[in-house]
Structure formats: C-alpha cells, structure tokens
Amino acid sequence: MDIKVMYSTNNLLNNLKVQLPGFMLCVVIAAAASFVSGNHGGPKFLYALLIGIAFNFLSDNPKCIPGIEVSAKKLVRIGVALLGVRIAVSDVHDLGAAGVGALVGGVLLTISFGLIFARLLKLPSTLGLLSGGATGICGISAAMAISSTLPQNSDNEHYTLLTAIGVATFSTIAMVTYPIIVSMLGLTTAEAGLFLGGAIHDVAQVVGAGFIISPAVGDAATLAKMFRVAMLMPVIVFLVFYFRDARNKSAGEEGKKQPLIPGFLLVFVGLVAINSMGLLSEQIIEVSSSISKWCLVISIAGLGVKTSFEKLSKLGWRPIVLFLGNAIFIAGYMLIIVYLGRVSGG
C-alpha cells in the first residue's frame, strides 16, 4: 500500500513539474492583465487574450505545451463550477414573471439567432453557438463554459478564442454607449436596469454601465444580469447531453471515456442549491468568486497563447458581422420588451 501511495505521489510531482513552466506563463499573463485592468480600466479577459496571443511563439515550446494545455482546458472547468456561488434561486422572485419570461426569451432567441445568422454568413455552427450563447448569457464565462461541452479540438479552441475577443470588444462598446441610449429614451430605473442587465454581455460591463447612471440602476441591472448567468446551468446541461456522442468519439481517439455528466457541472449545480438555501457566507462567496475569476483569466490566457493573429485574420470580416448582429439583436429585443411593458403598464 505504501509503495502505491509513493508511486502516485511521485507521479503527481512529476506531472506538476512538467506542467509548471507553461502554467506559470499563463499565471503571469493573467496577473499582468489584471494589473492593467485594475489600474487603467478595461476588461481583464480581453487583456489576457491579447497578451497571451503575443506569446504565441511559446505554444510550440515542448517545455510550455503541457502547462498551457492544462491552463486552457482544465482550469476553465474549475472556474465555471465555482460560478454557482453567485447564483441563488431567490433572485428569480425579485424579477417577477414578466421579467423572467423576457430574460429567458432573450437567451434562447439570441442563441437561435446566432446559429441562424452564422449559417447565413457561411460560418461554422460552432461559432454561431458560442457567439450566441456568450452574447445571450454572460459573455466570456459563457463562451468558456459552452466550449467545455464541445468536442475538444483545435478548431473549437480557435472559435472560442475568437468569440472571447468579439464578445469582450462589443461588451465594452455596449457599456459606454447603452447608458446614452437609456438617457435619450428617458427610461425609468426599472426599465434601464432590465435593458442594461438583459442586453450587455459581461457582468462587469453591466455593473459599470448601470452605476454610470445611478446606484439604483446598477442594482437593478445586476439582478437582471445574474438571472441571465443562472440560465447558464440549463443551457450547459442541454449541451452536455447534446454533444455527448461527439465528445465520446473525440475522447475515444485518445483512449478516454467521458462521464455521463461532467464533474464540474455537478459542482456548479450543487453550489447553486447550497447558495439558494443560504448556507454560504459572504466570505465564502467572495473567495469562491475570486478563485473562479482567476481560473477563467488564466484559462483564457492559455487559450490566447495557443492562437495567433495570423489564424484569426484568415476568418475575415464575417465573424465581426456575426458579433455585431448578435449585439444589435439582443439590444433591440430588450428595448421592445421595455416598450411593451411601458404600454401594458400605462
């Protein structure tokens, strides 16, 4: 028994030693991105992507490859799993039936629009799914979560990176421009919160846009946005089963068998349930959220290192049109919802 334990320990230490150089590269990139974001503003996910791409020349270095692979593929699952601490079922009651219905519709319709629009643009359906899901749910976090349910290959990693860049860019543009739309249309606090929380991609940009207007709008927008984040769970569950055969086929080529339900998804659901029962303290939620963000930033840094601008440029103008179309679609949808609510309420 002792020999087995020693063998397992040595194996673990050897794996860590092999993975350390590439992993530390991704950690340093993530730390640099967080520093720039914290001191100069802007989305740290986007910075991590761009800095990571600048280090693409290390993606072929034998010493870095194992750690980069672990960062890009494994850490994302930990980050997504820990997102569960930010979601509670009680949030649904505060939105009301109409708000819940509008936000659910926004998520489903945006994903559908992304798939249809990608086909019209003659782009891969995978890019349509990733872009629609990221725009409709919660930005880069959703893109990474959806990507983890897909067959793991270089094409899907490439599309995930492209989606992350596009979503981060248009989410930042939305954060700056949507408060102007709120002011021009004279939206109330509740209307502005529903529009901003329902139309902007990433959580950070929703909070930023809301508090640009007022703390009350910021709180209302955050609540709407967190419900969209909660929609990640049913979407991921569906995709896990939908792509199970494709993942098994991909994993079978590597001699691995995929579980019926991935462990990270079980942890995600479990944390949502525990948080909904009020069993998690504010400190635990804060620490878990921080760990989740770091895992996702390190993971996106690893994804950036694996991809070059040369490969991205070959896709041309169509992906930009796809991301722009998704952003306009969900913004237009939420404005229609706000208008209908005003008419019915008036």
Quick one: tokens of 81?
């799993």
- Choose between 83 and 138: higher pLDDT: 138
Q: What is the token pair recorded at 204?
A: 């950070």
Q: pLDDT exceeding 70 applies to what percent of the chain?
A: 84
Instruction: Record the tokens describing residue 49, joined without a space.
Output: 């992507």
Rounded distance, CA 217 to CA 107, Å?
Answer: 21
22, two tokens: 């590439």
Which DSSP helix (H) or strand (E) runs through 107? helix 91-120
pLDDT at 228 over 70: yes
Q: What whole-number distance in Å separates Cα of residue 12 and Cα of residue 230?
A: 35
What pTM did the predictor assign? Answer: 0.69
Mean of the per-residue pLDDT values for the chain? Answer: 81
Coil, strand or helix at 331: helix
Alpha carbon 295 to chain centroid distance?
12
Which of 181, 231, 225, 227 lies closest to 332, judged by CA?
Answer: 181
Mean pLDDT of 241-270: 63
Question: Given pLDDT bands bounded at 50, 70 and 90, which one contains residue 130?
Answer: very high
DSSP state, residue 1: -
The beta strand positions in 225-285, using DSSP E, are none
67-122 pLDDT, tens digit each:
988 887 778 778 877 877 876 766 666 677 788 888 899 999 999 999 999 999 99
| Residue for token pair 């846009």 | 209
45 Cβ neighbours under 8 A, 6+ residues apart: 33, 139, 140, 164, 168, 202, 296, 297, 300
Please tell me the distance from the alpha carbon of residue 255 to that of residue 38, in angstroms, as a whole number. Answer: 43
Compute the average pLDDT of residues 31-45: 85
pLDDT in tens, 172-225: 788 888 989 999 998 888 889 899 989 988 776 787 788 778 878 877 887 788
Q: For position 255, what pLDDT does the model report?
A: 46
**Average pLDDT of the residues in 152-156:** 73
Site of tokens 């959220």: 289
- Amino acid occupying residue 155: D
Q: Over 111-158, what HEC string results?
A: HHHHHHHHHHCCCCHHHHHHHHHHHHCCCHHHHHHHHHHCCCCHHHHH
Question: How big is the chain by its Cα radius of gyration, in Å?
Answer: 20
Confidence of residue 256 (pLDDT cuts 50, 70, 90): low
Q: Which residues contact 315 (CB under 8 A, 6 or more apart)?
A: 123, 162
| 344 three-state secondary structure | helix
Query: Who wins on pLDDT, 63 or 149?
Result: 63
DSSP at 228: H
